[in-house]
């Protein structure tokens, strides 16, 4: 069982999350000009990487927000968790230039200024401050 650190709610059991597939799959610029084969490849063909892989996840029973995760598909080691619309970090945690899958507009439901700050969160669990036993503001009990 995985322990996933939601950027909004903190560490939770993997049963609270739903896998959303490969992250950073750009939408075609002119979908009406694609052949049936090209459209099928966009919809159904995904990488099957052994090692570090960027994935989309939804915290379905918590904050209901989408986020991206960089996870090793062999060891299940979670290497990074980052907001939708931001570039994919490399294996060392450094951001790389790549297009995101979400809108960067402030009124977006998955990104922008509406989401709580994640600057104080840590996915490694090595925080020096004691863990709080109360749910974050706005979370359901």
Q: Are 81 and 87 in contact (CB under 8 A)?
A: no
Nearest Cα to Cα of residue 80 among 89, 98, 48 = 89
* 105 in a structural domain: yes
Number of domains in the chain: 1
Domain span including residue 55: 3-28+37-111
Residue 113 confidence (pLDDT): 43
Q: Hunting for tokens 């945690």 — which residue is that?
A: 93
Structural domain contains residue 13: yes
d(C-alpha 131, C-alpha 10), whole Å: 10
CATH number for 79: 3.30.2270.10
pTM of the predicted model as reported, rounded to 2 decimal places: 0.62
In a domain, 138, yes or no: no
pLDDT by residue (tens digit) across 94-104?
Answer: 554 443 444 44
């Amino acid at each position: 069982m995985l322990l996933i650190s939601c950027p909004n709610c903190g560490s939770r059991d993997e049963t609270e999350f739903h896998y959303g597939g490969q992250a950073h799959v750009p939408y075609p610029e002119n979908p009406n000009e694609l052949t049936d084969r090209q459209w099928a490849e966009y919809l159904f063909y995904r990488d099957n990487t052994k090692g570090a892989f960027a994935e989309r996840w939804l915290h379905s029973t918590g904050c209901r927000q989408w986020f991206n995760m960089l996870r090793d598909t062999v060891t299940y080691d979670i290497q990074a968790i980052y907001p939708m619309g931001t570039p994919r970090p490399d294996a060392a945690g450094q951001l790389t230039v790549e297009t995101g899958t979400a809108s960067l507009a402030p009124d977006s439901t998955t990104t922008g200024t509406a989401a709580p700050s994640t600057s104080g969160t840590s996915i490694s669990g090595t925080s020096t401050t004691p863990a709080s036993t109360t749910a974050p503001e706005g979370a359901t009990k």
